[in-house]
Amino acid sequence: MVSGNDEGRSVTLERMESPVRIGWIGTGVMGLSMAGHLIRAGHSLRVHSRTRARAEPLIALGAQWADSPADAAADAAFTFSMVSMPADVESVHLGSAGTLQTAPRGSIVIDMTTSTPALAAQIETRARERGVAALDAPVTGGDVGAREARLSIMVGGDEEASARAESLLRLMGKTVILHGPAGSGQLAKAVNQILIASTMVGVVEGLALAQKSALDPRKVLESVGAGAAGSWTLANLAPRMLRGDFAPGFRIEHFVKDLGVALEASEQVGLSLAGTELAHRLYTSAMAAGLADRGTHALAAVHPSR
């Protein structure tokens, strides 16, 4: 049993053999599906988003509405966030109506947004001061992975807290790995985004050559996808590029933010990443061309120049 905090509230965290009370903030493209898995597993959710209408599908499944992140976190054993930008993460957890205003002593706050290692460490420090554990747990796998509970989840933070949260995380993802102390999950996600960026540029340029050379790009995909060039991006996003289907699984504006985080992290350890810098410039140009809300594969619409 964990002793009460200064407001007299506490929670006891056991392995999840029975339903627990969960606060959830963020019901975007991925957050909506992720929260839905928790509800369907029998857990009780209190959900908040900037626009209530976005949370209605969860409310229809039995979730309760929360007027603020603080309201969502009050009396919750676990509080998750899946929002857009680091500024949103900071407001959700550290703001005047943030989760750490009300999260009970002994509870765990888990941010699944792709944010910055420094902010993850700051949240962990503030949480610890209140007797609350904090994990950074960004994900990869896109909208499909979120819908099918096949995400890969990269965790940073306390080992015991990670172990306690693991059964919930595994309701959303197939791979859950603790990488180290607070901020480590964000660093692992930065590596992921670097790999995606370089691969995406290669796919776009390869398909451009196939099309300009009068090859059938679908036959080319069939050939190269079966060899060493095969990848998730090639298999899942290249066909959408060819169809001109640029609906977002992950938006370009968010990817530009992520690549900025990756470049900042690389600079801090003395690395110069030319390929990532190029991808960041290309995606920034795509934003300027009006594609900020399109999927990352919409790079094919603007690069290489036709």
Could you tell me which of 18, 59, 52 has the C-alpha nearest to residue 36?
59
What is the residue type of 202?
G
Instruction: State the Cα angle at 151 between 111 and 204, rounded to 5°.
Output: 105
Say whether 189 is catalytic: yes
Helices 31-40 & 52-60 angle (0-180, nearest 10): 20
Q: What DSSP letter does each residue of 253-280 carry, written as one string?
A: HHHHHHHHHHHHHHHHTT---HHHHHHH
Could you tell me which of 249, 238, 56 has the C-alpha nearest to residue 150?
249
Q: Give the dihedral sign, CA 112/192/273/257.
A: negative
Q: Which of 189, 212, 219, 257 is catalytic?
A: 189
Q: Is 40:61 a contact under the CB 8 Å cutoff?
A: yes
Could you tell me which of 285, 192, 181 has the C-alpha nearest to residue 232?
192
Tokens of 214: 């009068």
Tokens of 131: 């007797």
Whole-number Cα distances in Å, 197 to 36, 146, 263, 296: 29, 20, 12, 9
What residues are labeled active site? 189
